[in-house]
Amino acid sequence: MEKFKILTYPDERLKKISQPVQQFDREFKDFVDRLLYTMRNSPAGVGIAAPQVNRHIQTIIVDASQYKHKHNKLNHGLMVLSNPRIIAHDGEIIIREGCLSVPDFTGNVKRHYWIKVEAEDINGNTITFDTEGFEAVVIQHEMDHLIGKLFLDRIASPKDLFRRKVYKK
Amino acid sequence: MKHFIITAVGEDRPGIVAGITKVLYEMGFNIEDSAMTRLNNEFAVMLIVSTEEEISEDTLKEKFSNVEKEKNLLINIRKIPEEIYREKEERGEVYNIIVYGGDKPGIVYKVAKLLADRNINISDLRTEKTPDIYVLIAQVEFPENLNLEDLQQEIEKLKDELNIDISIEKVESVEM
């Protein structure tokens, strides 16, 4: 399988609004397979959103199980979520986020600590679950891509944006 | 490319940033890096700027004379030799250090000395104080060969000596 090319800012296509998924057919599942392959073969690989590979549909993949993080206490493993909606939330959490589409920066972003999510699974069945901490942050980060937002839109304060480490050649 | 570092300080008021950057904009300078912040009622500006033009420190200083008078600023300009200028980079492992406790003389000095003695570089530091609590937050770069256990022991000693809390946390960012 071949990885999708990931769009990087300032590519305008990252700012486009994605459309709901209606057909959970073979073609869609093939796309999800390749999106998953792209995520698995990227640094960290905890999440990816369809618009990051220039497909403007409301599908995200998250897998918080693969990453050790102090806020990663509860996670649901691999999830493919389409048309995700946050139907309840509580609390706040700040994590230093990076993004495959913004490779030169990291930043502290404030998100909901606990969220209740409704979404369609890979077969189009509606599911509801709640989660917290790290997994909740990854879901919110990926959901932002569906409305054309990047973590840069949500930096907590002027002191919370950082140039990524550059290794000396 | 020529690079300069410009610092400006003066009593805080609206228009300091606009006044300074107008001069730069009109001369076609780029702002490569900057920190501008208010400390108490003073506003402090630090800029690294670049230009393709041949221009001396004195000529550049002259261009700022109007805004310097108008906003009552103290402006300082220094050319950065080409061999010293480099793209912003973090060196070594990056950690956050948070120190807090009752205000007493020497918190900043003793923490900074502990770091300097181990060749730990401070890349960012700020302090805040209220009548009761003193807080220092720093971002530092650990050298590769740093003995973490040794550092931890020294920190414990300093905590006891000054009766303060010190926590050190590795800065980790997650690619999402």
Please give the domain boundaries of chain A with CATH numbers for all domains.
Answer: 12-163 (3.90.45.10)
Is the model more confident about A126 or about B90?
A126
Reported as a single tens digit per residue, the pLDDT across A25-48 is 999 999 999 999 999 999 888 999
- Taking contacts as CB-CB distances below 8 angstroms, the residues of chain A near B88 are 163, 166
- Beta strand residue intervals within A6-160, DSSP E: 47-49, 59-63, 78-98, 105-120, 126-132
pLDDT > 80? residue A62: yes
Put simply, whether B174 touches A (Cβ < 8 Å) is yes
Q: CA B135, CA B140: separation in Å to the nearest integer?
A: 16
Pairing relationship of beta strands B174-175 and A78-98 according to DSSP bridges: parallel
- Taking contacts as CB-CB distances below 8 angstroms, the residues of chain A near B175 are 42-46, 98-100
Beta carbons of A45 and B89 less than 8 Å apart: no
| Mean pLDDT score, B129-134 | 89
pLDDT > 50? residue A167: no
Among A7, A85, A97, A14, smallest CA distance to B176 is for: A97
Specify the amino acid at residue A9.
Y
Put simply, whether B90 touches A (Cβ < 8 Å) is yes
Q: CA A62, CA A60: separation in Å to the nearest integer?
A: 7
Q: CA B21, CA B59: separation in Å to the nearest integer?
A: 16
**Encoding tokens for residue B163?**
């009766």
pLDDT > 70? residue B89: no
**Looking at residue B171, what is its pLDDT?**
82
Put simply, whether B172 touches A (Cβ < 8 Å) is yes
Q: CA B95, CA A90: separation in Å to the nearest integer?
A: 29
Task: State the nearest Cα–Cα gap between A42 and chain B, in angstroms.
Answer: 9
**CATH number of the domain at B2-80, please?**
3.30.70.260
Put simply, whether A41 touches B (Cβ < 8 Å) is no
Put simply, whether B40 touches A (Cβ < 8 Å) is no
**Looking at residue B88, what is its pLDDT?**
63
Reported as a single tens digit per residue, the pLDDT across B18-35 is 999 999 999 999 999 999
Mean pLDDT over each residue of chain B, to the nearest integer: 92
At A166, is the pLDDT very low, low, confident or very high (cuts 50, 70, 90)?
A: low
Task: State the nearest Cα–Cα gap between B171 and chain A, in angstroms.
Answer: 8
pLDDT > 60? residue B15: yes
**Looking at residue A169, what is its pLDDT?**
34
- Taking contacts as CB-CB distances below 8 angstroms, the residues of chain A near B93 are none
- Taking contacts as CB-CB distances below 8 angstroms, the residues of chain B near A69 are 172, 174
**Looking at residue A168, what is its pLDDT?**
38
Mean pLDDT over each residue of chain A, to the nearest integer: 93
| Three-class SS state of B82 | coil
- Taking contacts as CB-CB distances below 8 angstroms, the residues of chain A near B124 are 159
Put simply, whether B94 touches A (Cβ < 8 Å) is yes
| Mean pLDDT score, B41-49 | 97
pLDDT > 80? residue B57: yes
Q: Which of B88, B126, B173 sits opposite A98 (nearest CB)?
A: B173
Put simply, whether A98 touches B (Cβ < 8 Å) is yes
Q: Examine the residue annotation and report whether A27 is marked as an active-site residue of this protein.
A: no
Among A68, A45, A65, smallest CA distance to A131 is for: A65
**Looking at residue A165, what is its pLDDT?**
62
Helix (H) or strand (E) run with residue A71 in it: none
Angstrom distances, CA of residue A55 to CA of A5, A21, A34, B141: 11, 11, 12, 40
pLDDT > 80? residue B160: yes
Task: State the nearest Cα–Cα gap between A7 and chain B, in angstroms.
Answer: 14
Nearest chain A residue (CA) to B36: A158
Is the model more confident about B85 or about B44?
B44
Beta carbons of A99 and B176 less than 8 Å apart: yes
| Mean pLDDT score, B60-73 | 95
Beta carbons of B175 and A165 less than 8 Å apart: no
pLDDT > 80? residue B87: no
Sequence-distant (≥ 6) Cβ neighbours of residue A131 within 8 angstroms: A74, A75, A76, A114, A115, A117, A139
Put simply, whether B173 touches A (Cβ < 8 Å) is yes
Q: ipTM for the complex? A: 0.75
For B93-170, give the CATH class.
alpha beta
Instruction: Tell which B residues from 102 to 161 touch A, by Cβ distance under 8 Å.
Output: 124, 126
- A-to-B residue pairs, Cβ atoms closer than 8 angstroms: 54
Reported as a single tens digit per residue, the pLDDT across A97-153 is 999 999 889 999 999 999 999 999 999 999 999 999 999 999 999 999 999 999 999
Q: CA A129, CA A119: separation in Å to the nearest integer?
A: 9
pLDDT > 70? residue B90: no
Q: CA A160, CA A14: separation in Å to the nearest integer?
A: 22
Is the model more confident about B55 or about A169?
B55
pLDDT > 90? residue B131: no
**Encoding tokens for residue A132?**
């917290």
At A159, is the pLDDT very low, low, confident or very high (cuts 50, 70, 90)?
A: confident
Stretch among A30-34, A86-90, B89-93, B142-146 having the lowest mean pLDDT: B89-93
User: What are the start and end residues of each CATH 3.30.70.260 domain in chain B?
Assistant: 2-80, 93-170
| Mean pLDDT score, A65-70 | 83
